[in-house]
Amino acid sequence: MSTLDSKIPDGPIKDKWTNHKNHINVVNPANKRSIDIIVVGSGLAGGAAAASLAELGYNVKCFCFQDSPRRAHSIAAQGGINAAKNYQNDGDSTYRLFYDTVKGGDYRAREANVYRLAEVSANIIDQCVAQGVPFAREYGGLLDNRSFGGVLVSRTFYAKGQTGQQLLLGAYSAMSRQINKGKIKMYNRHEMLELVLVNGEARGIIARNLITGELERHPAHAVVLGTGGYGNVFYLSTNAMGSNVTAAWRAHRKGAYFANPCYTQIHPTCIPRSGDYQSKLTLMSESLRNDGRIWVPRKIEDVEAIRSKKIKPRDIKEEDRDYYLERRYPAFGNLVPRDVASRAAKERCDAGYGVNETGEAVYLDFASAIMRYGREKANTSHIENPSDEVVRALGEKVVEAKYGNLFQMYEKITDDNPYKTPMMIYPAVHYTMGGLWVDYNLMTTIPGCFAAGEANFSDHGANRLGASALMQGLADGYFVLPYTIGDFLSKDIRTGKISTDLPEFEAAEKETKARLDALINNKGTKSVDHFHKQLGKVMWDKVGMARNETGLKEAISEIRKIREEFHKDVFVPGTTNSFNPELEKATRVADFLELGELFACDALNRSESCGGHFREESQTPEGEALRDDENFAFVSAWEWTGDPGTANLHREDLAFKDIELKQRSYK
Amino acid sequence: MNLTLKIWRQKDAKAAGAIETYQVSEISEHMSFLEMMDVLNERLITEGKDPVAFDHDCREGICGMCSMYINGEPHGPDRGVTTCQLHMRKFKDGDTIHIEPWRAQAFPIIKDLVVDRTAFDRIIQAGGYVSVNTSGNSQDANAIPIPKEDADNAFDAATCIGCGACVAACKNSSAMLFVSAKVSQLALLPQGQVERKDRVLNMVDQMDAEGFGNCSNTGACEIECPKGISLENIARMNREFISASISKG
Amino acid sequence: MSSQNKALGSSIARKFAMALSGLFLLIFLLQHLIINFTSVISADMFNAASHFMGTNALVQFALQPVLAFGVFFHLIMGMVLEMKNRSSRPIKYAYSKPEESSTWMSRNMIITGIMVMLFLGLHFYDFWLPELKTKFIDGVWNIDNRYFHELQEKFMDPVRVGIYVLAFIFLALHLMHGFQSAFQSVGFRHNKYTPIIKKVSTIYAIVVPAGFIFIAMFHFLAH
Which residues, 6 or more positions from A614, have their beta carbon under 8 angstroms from its beta carbon?
A339, A343, A545, A546, A547, A625
The closest CB to that of A277, out of B35, B46, B185, belongs to B35
CA distances from C214 to C45, C48, C210 (A): 18, 21, 6
Rounded CA separation A436/A257 (Å): 6
Give the sign of the dihedral formed by CA A368, CA A373, CA A375, CA A378: negative
B100: contact with A, CB 8 A cutoff: no
Give SS3 for C11: helix
Q: Would A389 be classed as within a structural domain?
A: yes
The amino acid present at A216, given as its one-letter code, is E
Q: Which residues share a beta bridge with A428?
A: A267
A617 and A526 in one domain? yes
Surface-to-core class of residue A547, CB atoms within 10 Å of its CB (0-12 exposed, 13-18 middle, 19+ buried): buried
* Percentage above 70 pLDDT, chain A: 100
Q: Is C91 on the interface with B (CB under 8 A)?
A: yes
Tell whether B183 lies on the interface with C, counting CB pairs under 8 A: no
User: Which residue from A68, A133, A283 is facing B162, i.e. has the nearest CB?
Assistant: A68
Q: Would residue A206 count as lying in a domain?
A: no
Query: Distance between CA atoms of A208 and A519, rounded to whole angstroms?
Result: 15
The answer as to whether C81 is a domain residue is yes
* C-alpha radius of gyration, chain B, whole number: 20
Q: Which residues contact A188 (CB under 8 A, 6 or more apart)?
A: A64, A66, A67, A68, A69, B118, B121
Asked if the model's pLDDT at residue C2 lies above 60, the reply is: no
Nearest to A471 by CA among A46, A198, A122, A55: A122
Compute how many other C-beta atoms are within 10 angstroms of the C-beta atom of residue A384.
6
Degrees, nearest 5: CA angle A548-A552-A556:
175
CATH of the domain at C137: 1.20.1300.10
Provide the 8-state DSSP code for A609: -
Determine the Cα–Cα distance for residues A464 and A230; give it in Å rounded to an integer.
15
| pLDDT score of C9 | 87
Which structural domain, as residue segments, surrounds residue A512? 501-634
Q: How large is the angle between the packed helices B176-188 and B148-158, nearest 10 degrees? A: 150
Identify residue C157 by its one-letter amino acid code.
D
Touch B-C: 3+ C-beta pairs under 8 A? yes
Last residue of a domain, one of A406, A427, A448: A427
Query: Percent of chain A scored above 90 by pLDDT?
Result: 90
- In angstroms, the separation between the Cα of residue A202 and the nearest Cα of chain B is 26
The verdict on residue C2 lying in a domain is no
**Torsion sign over Cα A146, A151, A153, A157:** negative
Give a yes or no: residue A599 inside a domain: yes
Residue of A138, A527, A529 with shortest CB distance to B148: A138
pLDDT score of C1: 38
Instruction: Name the strands in the sheet holding B18-24, side by side, starting at the edge strand that comes first in the sequence.
Output: B18-24, B3-9, B96-100, B69-70, B73-74
- Does the residue A273 lie in any domain? yes
Q: Chain B: nearest CA to C33, how far in angstroms?
A: 27
Q: What is the mean pLDDT of residues C16-23?
A: 97
Find chain B residues with C-beta within 8 A of A573's C-beta.
44-45, 48-51
Is A578's Cβ below 8 Å from some Cβ in B?
yes
**CA proximity to A39, closest of A81, A69, A76:** A69
Give the minimum alpha-carbon distance from C20 to chain B in angstroms, rounded to a whole number: 13
Interface contact B210, partner C, CB < 8 A: no
Mean pLDDT of chain A: 95
Q: What is the ipTM of this complex?
A: 0.97
DSSP characters over A566-596: HHHHB---S-TTS--HHHHHHHHHHHHHHHH
Query: What burial class does residue A440 get, using C-beta atoms within 10 Å of its C-beta: 0-12 exposed, 13-18 middle, 19+ buried?
Result: buried
pLDDT tens for B186-207 read: 999 999 999 999 999 999 999 9
3-state SS assignment for residue A633: coil
CB B239 to CB C109 under 8 A? no
List subunits contacting chain C, requiring 3 or more Cβ pairs under 8 Å: B
Dihedral (CA of A314, A317, A320, A324) sign: positive
Q: How far apart are CA C122 and CA B173, in angstroms?
A: 35
CATH number of B117-133+143-248: 1.10.1060.10
User: What distance in Å separates residue B212's CA from the closest CA in chain C?
Assistant: 6
Smallest Cβ distance to B214: which of C14, C96, C102?
Answer: C14
Among the candidates A401, A427, A453, a domain finishes at: A427
B114's CB contacts (< 8 A; 6+ apart) are A579, B53, B54, B55, B101
CATH number at residue A334: 3.90.700.10
Q: Which of A70, A338, A464, A560 is catalytic?
A: A338
How, if at all, do strands A36-40 and A59-63 pair?
Answer: parallel
Strands A36-40 and A222-225: parallel
Nearest to A529 by CA among B123, C78, B38, C44: B38
The amino acid that residue C213 corresponds to is I
CA distances from A616 to A108, A538, A545, A609 (A): 19, 17, 10, 8
The CA distance from B224 to A33, in Å, is: 46
CATH of the domain at A586: 1.20.58.100
Structure confidence by residue, pLDDT tens digits, A179-222: 999 999 999 999 999 999 999 999 999 999 999 999 999 999 99
Q: Are B157 and B179 in contact (CB under 8 A)?
A: no
Q: Do C101 and B174 touch (CB under 8 A)?
A: no
DSSP state of A610: B
Q: In chain B, which stretches have pLDDT less than 50? A: none
* C186 occurs within a structural domain: yes
Other CB atoms closer than 10 Å to residue B30's CB: what's the count? 16
Distance between CA atoms of residues A422 and A282, nearest Å: 17
Q: Who contacts C48 (Cβ-Cβ below 8 Å, separation ≥6)?
A: C144
With a cut of 70, say whether residue A2 has pLDDT above it: no
- Cβ-Cβ contacts under 8 Å between A and B: the total is 223
Question: Which of C95, C98, C101 is opposite residue B98, by nearest beta carbon?
Answer: C95
The per-residue pLDDT for A662 is: 86
Contacts of A436 (CB under 8 A, 6+ apart): A225, A248, A251, A252, A256, A257, A258, A259, A444, A451, A455, A456, A457
Interface probe for A, chosen from B38, B134, B225 (most Cβ of A below 10 Å), is B134
Say whether the A–B interface has 3 or more Cβ pairs within 8 Å: yes
Q: Which of A58-67, A453-462, A467-476, C126-135 is predicted with the least confidence, judged by mean pLDDT?
A: C126-135
- Indicate whether A422 and A305 sit together in one domain: yes
Q: In Å, how far is B166's CA from the nearest CA of chain A?
A: 17
Report, as an integer, the average pLDDT of A439-464.
Answer: 97
**Interchain CB contact of B9 with C (< 8 Å):** no
Domain(s) labelled CATH 1.10.1060.10 in chain B stretch across: 117-133+143-248
- Of B86, B235, B211, nearest to B157 (Cα)? B235
Q: Rounded to whole angstroms, how far apart are CA atoms A218 and A61?
A: 9
Beta-carbon contacts of C16 under 8 Å, excluding residues fewer than 6 positions away, are B238, B242, C185, C186
DSSP class of A635: E
Instruction: Give the total number of structural domains in chain C.
Output: 1
Do residues A299 and A385 both lie within one domain? yes
Residue A633, C-beta contacts closer than 8 angstroms, at least 6 positions apart = A107, A108, A653, A654, A656, A661
Confirm whether A110 is a catalytic residue.
Answer: no
Beta strands in chain C (DSSP E): none
pTM reported for the whole predicted model: 0.95
User: What does the alpha-carbon distance between residue C217 and residue C162 come to, in Å, rounded to a whole number?
Assistant: 9
List the domain range (segments joined by +) for residue C132: 7-88+102-222
For chain A, the domain total comes to 2
Q: Which of C88, C92, C96 to mutate to test the interface with B (most CBs of B within 10 A)?
A: C88
3-state secondary structure chain B: CCEEEEEEECCCCCCCCEEEEEEECCCCCCCEHHHHHHHHHHHHHHCCCCCCCCCCCCCCCCCCCCCCEECCEECCCCCCCCHHHCEHHHCCCCCEEEEECCCCCCCCEEECCEECCHHHHHHHHCCCCCCCCCCCCCCCCCCCCCCHHHHHHHHHHHCCCCCCHHHHHCCCCCCHHHHHHHHHHHHHCHHHCCCHHHHHHHHHHHHHHCCCCCCCCCCHHHHHCCCCCCCHHHHHHHHHHHHHHHHHC
> What mean pLDDT value characterizes chain C?
92
- Residue C63 DSSP symbol: I
Q: Specify whether the CB–CB gap between A432 and A248 falls below 8 A.
A: no
Q: Are residues A279 and A417 in the same domain?
A: yes
Residues from chain B that touch C16, judged by Cβ atoms under 8 A, are 238, 242
CATH number belonging to domain B3-100: 3.10.20.30
